[in-house]
Structure 1
């Protein structure tokens, strides 16, 4: 009986630990961590500089190989002028190498900054990064997607697709965070939120 109790206790603790390791993202009214990184043109982008101009729409995406990411980034690009009209700056963050960001720009025609998250610093600060399980990596490799090669030293880590709106006081005022990589917020919803908070 003692062995059985010890086994259940160990399993319960393992479940709690694994649940604690799953990213949760930033919550509403959280303070958005400061960051700086280089965009697709090699220009350094800092959150504090962007916030001087107004709100920031911060998007985390997986890579140029992800059709769901490309579709969403394309929709954001199509609405870029509307986002700017509402006093916001759009910026995207990815673990992929700069040369692969170039492929994303080609596919989506993105004219907004896309930042290479070196050493996953931004993804960790915003609690969106996770290591892709080996069985999923195998499925990706079998279909020709090599996340580790796409990401370089960022390895097999990806962000949970997430979108935050950060106000001038560095507070998260809008959050979309969904573990299902096929789900993204409706761009119209983001625009309506920006309109309400003008």
Structure 2
């Protein structure tokens, strides 16, 4: 596996985009560029859970099909929750791989958990684990119930779904509920009491929360708790 510890997620995304644009051509690239511009223009939706609010809860499913919930996974430990779109999303794979290599060890040193959540099937969660050799919980949010309670549900534009079809896949085929609904890529830092202390929602799915941003929020939480 390529070592990414000396690169930010943004730098890796830039490198990926150069090759991806060349691969898919200008027509499909323009579709995705337009979708991203529209998402940025619309901004973060109203109703997103903010710092200081209680973290919502909902049923989740493990890659082996067992039922759990966010509150059960969190227990009484501070937790970083990462919402991502699915194993089909290259930007998600870049992010989760980076979190595995750089963020997870730093969180473990601090006694903080890392959890990733997406609406894809448990089999898709297994693929995410394999893609990044992930050693933290990767869970399914059936029907985006948890994501909806966090206020971060969206879906690809019609033009983007058409472009996906030309590339040989459809988001609905990966999701547990057979819809195209997906979360905005987001990171929430939740304290021991279940209160959100940091919220970072990225409407442009090509951008993500960097490792140092997460750690700064975690360290602030630990200082406050101490």
Report which stretch shifted further, 146-155 or 178-187.
146-155
Q: Aligned residues, how many? A: 180
CA contact (8 A) 2:186 2:202 kept: yes
Q: CA RMSD in A?
A: 2.1
Larger Rg belongs to:
1
What SS class does the counterpart of residue 83 from structure 1 fall into? Answer: helix
Q: TM-score, normalised by structure 2?
A: 0.73
Measure the CA separation in 2 of the matches of 1:147 and 1:23: 24
Unaligned runs of 5+ residues in structure 1 are 1-18
Matched, 1:143 2:167: yes
Q: Is it true that 1:93 corresponds to 2:120 in the alignment?
A: no
Matches of 1:152 and 1:46 in 2, distance apart? 16
CA distance in 2, matches of 1:122, 1:171: 15
Contact (CA 8 Å) 1:33, 1:125: kept in 2 or not?
Answer: yes
- Give 1:81 deviation, angstroms: 2.2
**Please, which moves more after superposition, 25-34 or 35-44?**
35-44
Q: Kindly tell me: are residues 105 and 23 of structure 1, through their superposed partners in 2, closer, same or farther at Cα, counting changes over 3 Å?
A: farther
Instruction: Considering fraction of residues, name the structure with more strand.
Output: 1
Q: List gaps (5 residues or longer) in structure 2.
A: 1-41
State the 1:73 CA deviation. 0.4
3-state SS, counterpart of residue 172 of structure 2: helix
TM-score by length of 1: 0.83
Query: Match of 2:84?
Result: 61
Q: Does the 8 Å CA contact 2:86/2:125 hold for their aligned counterparts?
A: yes
